[in-house]
Chain A
Amino acid sequence: MDPKLKKTKDSSSNSANSPDSTHSSFPFPDEVLERVLSLLHSHKDRSSVSLVCKDWYNAERWTRTKLFIGNCYSVSPEIVARRFPRIKSVTLKGKPRFSDFNLVPQYWGADVHSWLVMFAKVYPFLEELRLKRMTLSDESLKFLATSFPGFKALSLLSCDGFSTDGLKAIATHCKNLTELDIQENGIDDFGGGWLSCFSENCSSLEVLNFASLSSDVSFDALEKLVRRCKSLRILKVNKSISLDQLQQLLVQAPQLIELGTGSFQQELTPRQYEDLETAFSKCKNLQTLSGLWEATSLHLPVLYAACASLTFLNLSYATLRSDELAKLVAHSPNLRRLWVLDTVEDKGLETVGSSCPLLEELRVYPADPFELDLHHGVTEAGFLAVSHGCRKLHYVLYFCRQMTNAAVATIVQNCPDFTHFRLCIMNPGEPDYLTNEPMDEAFGAVVKTCTNLQRLAVSGLLTDLTFEYIGRYAKNLETLSVAFAGSSDRGMQCVLQGCPKLRKLEIRDSPFGNAALLSGVEKYETMRSLWMSACNVTMSACRLLAKDMPRLNVEVMRDEGSDDRQADKVYVYRSVAGPRRDAPPFVLTL
């Protein structure tokens, strides 16, 4: 790479910087500055660097190779193309997070195609594309596969609009593919034939994750692929792969660092069982284990030998009982992250507390989210037990049906380092079940004690007091999720006025209205986005906001049969690209 070929210097940009210079005003030649800046990877740092002066802005834009765009509508492909000439890796996020829960209609947008067209023109050497909550068609995937000869890594999380036909194109045309990571997307699965499209020469795969696809793949093709790809470190197969097939794969790839099993239920002969056990014991580098669909106590013991090195165990698709979990975690003393279903109950969580002193992250998902019966799942007792034994806990996602203020207060006393606290009491508006009081004091304790809190999701019966606490104490809070909470506009106002680092605020079914919305007029440009649905906001307030703040996009979606004046779903986000031009008819841009 020859630095002299790259650009023409704008001399006026230099003279402004230093009055008494005879040569380049800046002490460092460009080459040195760029060398230094090319070592910077964090996009936040790069943002800061670009604001220092014009020279640094230029040096930064020439050395940036990784692009991170948290909201695809905050900027346009043209603007990006003008500013950054040398991008090799792109991360793009699209729809608002509540689209994961069906709150955003289909065809809302976030289509990646216009971005791909720009990339093909300006970044022909693009190597990596990571999309989250974007829409992409099979045509887009074909375009991607055939437009970038050096393309290496594709990661799709929570995306929609494509099918396995698009994956065929990727497997067929991307000769240097190192990563194919397809997670939890709403796609049409027309069969597993895509896996057979990898050419027999393809041996570069390092990451292959097709766990969330349902159809059978050709085991023969998979086995040969795994055997050829000696650098394979992450393999997550889908349910169609049986236990004895898994054994054959493991024998080919004992170097795996992350493994997602297929179905964990099969009648095995004693010999097969032994072979499987041996195969697992040979995986000395295994750090992450997931999959385990339909796992029962019959086959879990084959894992024990591999558990010693595990740092992340994802059991969130295995309906394990407390005793089954107990045995697993007893063999896994090095766990840092654990995801389980609430079938393990409080008893199971107690064993986690006693077996995993290094635990940093716990997620407890509901096995039956719509079950109203209180006798299933976990309670405050399980959470308390984990907090007693795992003092390093800093990330929690906990779905439960009952909680108390006292329990949460004790939990954060035990674990004051929470950075992510997401508590979901599943019955909306549920009070402290012992005292019948609102859960205000619980979240008050969280924000007062956990000074490093970055992300908070609240639930249960909550008054404005919760939000007063949040505004007053949560000085590092970046993301706040609110549902069925608060008593008046004041609640939301406290948050908008009090949390200096707030970037994402998502609210549903809460009594916040126009006064609350408009109190944040000056705040929203410092944030990535605001979502409010089923609140008390009207169209007139939204129009006012849109009029006052031209650099905010204010979008409204109305529900069927609702009053013309109601703004049922409001999405506000900052943008340098102006209102979006691809909005479908049901999205009103104000």
Chain B
Amino acid sequence: MEKGVAYDNDMNLKATELRLGLPGTDESQKEYSSFVKSNKRSSEEMDSSCNEEECAPAPKALVVGWPPVRSYRKNVLQQQQKKSDSDVSGMYVKVSMDGAPYLRKIDIKVYKNYPDLLIALENMFKCSMGVYSEREGYNGSEYAPTYEDKDGDWMLVGDVPWDMFVTSCKRLRIMKGSEAKGLGCQ
């Protein structure tokens, strides 16, 4: 089971040493149940440590039944974690601008509200989009931000509450102001 980690020129044998944990972590990191003579580990941990070696994330659930959280609660939270794992990794959407030769990608989870997002877009594309108004949209501006939602429709950025926008936005398109006039801003 010698999987090569990065080969050092000076035959760093420590790097090929078999142990649990990420490469480069200190060997003296705390061991669970170090003072209990029989190191009971849950079987799931035994399997993963043999197969994934140093590249696995730090082993979870080292000890059966610890921390003392009831199975029902654990299962419910694990399901929620799976759902929101996409949250953790960011919500990257493509951004296109009319006339620009290539697209960009931004993580909309990074922004807390519309003004933040618009300023970022204006900086990224060196354009001006002005201020949103419910009646006029971005009328008067050179460009207007639009987005494709979950249903595949093209919407004007700013109409729905921010949280709803974040979960329904699939991609962004910065439209020329003249074209955006037709987008329901009556």
Q: Do chains A and B interact in one complex?
A: yes
Contacting residues, chain A, for B77 (C-beta < 8 A):
317, 341, 367-369
Closest to A511 in B: B35
Alpha-carbon gap, A534 to B35, bound state (A): 11
Q: Does any Cβ of B come within 8 Å of A474's Cβ?
A: no
Q: Does any Cβ of A come within 8 Å of B4's Cβ?
A: no
Q: Does any Cβ of B come within 8 Å of A79's Cβ?
A: no
Q: Does any Cβ of B come within 8 Å of A210's Cβ?
A: no
Contacting residues, chain A, for B72 (C-beta < 8 A):
158, 184-186, 212
Q: Does any Cβ of A come within 8 Å of B51's Cβ?
A: no
Alpha-carbon gap, A98 to B67, bound state (A): 12
The interface-forming segment of A80-88, A99-107, A195-203, A549-557 is A99-107
Is A399's CB under 8 angstroms from B73's CB? no
- Given the known A-B contacts A184-B72, A294-B80, are A428 and B32 also in contact in the complex, defined by CB atoms under 8 Å? yes
Contacting residues, chain A, for B81 (C-beta < 8 A):
367-368
A-B contact number at CB 8 A: 98
Closest CB in chain B relative to A483 CB, distance in Å: 7
Alpha-carbon gap, A293 to B83, bound state (A): 12
Contacting residues, chain B, for A294 (C-beta < 8 A):
80, 83
Alpha-carbon gap, A358 to B38, bound state (A): 46
Alpha-carbon gap, A484 to B62, bound state (A): 14
A residues 280-297 touching B (CB-CB < 8 Å): 293-294, 296-297
Q: How large is the interface on B (under 10, 10 to 19, 20 to 34, 35 or more residues)?
A: 20 to 34
Is A562's CB under 8 angstroms from B38's CB? yes
Contacting residues, chain A, for B164 (C-beta < 8 A):
267, 298
Q: Does any Cβ of A come within 8 Å of B11's Cβ?
A: no
Q: Does any Cβ of A come within 8 Å of B126's Cβ?
A: no
Q: Does any Cβ of A come within 8 Å of B110's Cβ?
A: no
Binary flags per residue of B56-84, CB closer than 8 Å to A gives 1, else 0: 00101101111111111110110011011
Is B30's CB under 8 angstroms from A427's CB? yes
Q: Does any Cβ of A come within 8 Å of B24's Cβ?
A: no
Is B68's CB under 8 angstroms from A365's CB? no
Closest CB in chain A relative to B143 CB, distance in Å: 28
Interface class of chain B by DSSP: loop
Is A428's CB under 8 angstroms from B66's CB? yes
Q: Does any Cβ of B come within 8 Å of A546's Cβ?
A: no
Closest to B58 in A: A372
Contacting residues, chain A, for B182 (C-beta < 8 A):
none
Interface class of chain A by DSSP: loop
Closest CB in chain A relative to B74 CB, distance in Å: 7
Q: Which B positions have Cβ atoms within 8 angstroms of A?
A: 30, 32-38, 40, 58, 60-61, 63-74, 76-77, 80-81, 83-84, 161, 163-164, 168
Q: Which A positions have Cβ atoms within 8 angstroms of B?
A: 98, 100-103, 158, 184-186, 212, 267, 293-294, 296-298, 316-317, 319, 341, 365-372, 399, 424, 426-429, 481, 483-484, 508-511, 534, 536, 559, 562, 566
Contacting residues, chain B, for A424 (C-beta < 8 A):
67-68
Contacting residues, chain A, for B30 (C-beta < 8 A):
427, 429
Is B36's CB under 8 angstroms from A186's CB? no
Is B163's CB under 8 angstroms from A296's CB? yes
Is B66's CB under 8 angstroms from A365's CB? no
Selected from A372, A399, A429, the residue in CB contact (under 8 A) with B35 is A429
Selected from B33, B65, B80, B83, the residue in CB contact (under 8 A) with A102 is B65
Alpha-carbon gap, A288 to B67, bound state (A): 27
* Sample (26) of A-B pairs whose CB atoms are under 8 Å apart: A100-B71, A101-B68, A101-B70, A103-B65, A184-B70, A293-B80, A297-B163, A316-B73, A317-B77, A319-B84, A367-B81, A368-B77, A369-B67, A369-B77, A371-B60, A399-B67, A424-B67, A427-B30, A428-B66, A484-B33, A509-B63, A510-B36, A511-B36, A534-B33, A534-B36, A562-B38
Closest CB in chain A relative to B25 CB, distance in Å: 11
Is A509's CB under 8 angstroms from B163's CB? no
Is A509's CB under 8 angstroms from B33's CB? yes
Contacting residues, chain B, for A484 (C-beta < 8 A):
33, 35-36
Closest to B70 in A: A100
- Given the known A-B contacts A534-B40, A562-B38, are A365 and B73 also in contact in the complex, defined by CB atoms under 8 Å? yes
